[in-house]
Amino acid sequence: MSLADVVEHPSTVSTSVPSFTAHDGPTISLRRSRPAVSALAEEAFHGIAGRIANGIYQPGDRISDKQLAQEFGFSRTPVREALQRLERIGLVEMHPSRYTVVTAITPEMARATWEFTGLFAGNVVRLAFPRLGETERAQVVELIAAAIEKVPSNAEWLTAQIALFGYLADRAHNDLYRSLLGDSWYLILRNLARIGISPAGQAESIRALHLLSDAFVEGDLLAAERAAQRVYGLA
């Protein structure tokens, strides 16, 4: 996702983040474009964040910056910078001169994650909807159908919804909105992948996705926005 690229002397580093498979969850691929930072810190950030997201590092696990530096093959400074960045988004807690620990997913965090994702889904539909042509709307309907099919699958439901709302986000053409999310997507996707979706939630999500499809077919923006929020338990 695009971050604040407009600086006095624009110089950015574009990093393609490898796909990762959340434990018992989906395969997710992110892309980041950030202002020029230490390439080593950038590499360490995505490497550690990916391990947290895919369950290699579980909530409560301790992370050693010394061990990671040895593994990555560079000094501890960029690793510490990466850990500080991870702490800012809530994936780790740092205890200076002691250890770093992966954060737990509390009931409050789970609730907040679902609420935020519902708000994001509604907002991205509102932004993208007026900008879609007939062919693109047809593609959205196909992506919704794929998402409906994958809802019952613990391994694929989130991947299908990322494909759907990622497609819409790419066509919202609002880099400022996307930049505000930034690295936080690692936290959101980690939480969603590990929380999963209950049987009751699956049924409601399927109903909401059908409503979303109908709204795109009928050209009803407000109905589409409400349905997108309802996919994640809002509205």
**pLDDT band with cut points at 50, 70 and 90 for residue 20:** very low
**pLDDT band with cut points at 50, 70 and 90 for residue 96:** confident
**pLDDT band with cut points at 50, 70 and 90 for residue 154:** confident
Over residues 109-144, the pLDDT tens digits come to 999 999 999 999 999 999 999 999 999 999 999 999
Beta bridge pairs of residue 28: 20
CA distances from 26 to 54, 114, 194, 225 (A): 9, 17, 10, 25
Over residues 166-224, the pLDDT tens digits come to 999 999 998 887 777 788 889 999 999 989 899 999 999 999 999 999 999 999 999 99
Predicted pLDDT at 9: 24
Q: How high does pLDDT run on average in the chain?
A: 84
Q: What is the distance, to the nearest Å, from the Cα of residue 168 to the centroid of all Cα atoms in its chain?
A: 14
- Block residue for tokens 């690793």: 79
Q: Say whether 94 sits in a helix, a strand or coil.
A: strand
Q: How far apart (Å, rounded) are the C-alpha atoms in residues 50 and 66?
A: 18
Q: How far apart (Å, rounded) are the C-alpha atoms in residues 125 and 41?
A: 34
Q: How far apart (Å, rounded) are the C-alpha atoms in residues 86 and 44?
A: 10
**Model confidence at 17: pLDDT above 50:** no
Q: How far apart (Å, rounded) are the C-alpha atoms in residues 186 and 229?
A: 20
What number is the average pLDDT over the span 85-92? 96
Which residues are CB-contacts of 118 (< 8 A; sequence separation ≥ 6)?
228, 229, 230, 231, 232, 233, 234, 235
Q: What is the distance, to the nearest Å, from the Cα of residue 23 to the centroid of all Cα atoms in its chain?
A: 15
Q: Say whether 199 sits in a helix, a strand or coil.
A: helix
Q: Are 45 and 92 in contact (CB under 8 A)?
A: no
pLDDT: is 13 or 91 the higher one?
A: 91
What number is the average pLDDT over the span 138-151? 98
**Where do the domains of the chain lie, and which CATH numbers do they carry?**
37-102 (1.10.10.10), 107-231 (1.20.120.530)
**pLDDT band with cut points at 50, 70 and 90 for residue 37:** low
Predicted pLDDT at 98: 82
| DSSP of 136-192 | HHHHHHHHHHHHHHHTT-TTTHHHHHHHHHHHHHHTT--HHHHHHHTTHHHHHHHHH
CB atoms within 10 A of CB 101: 16
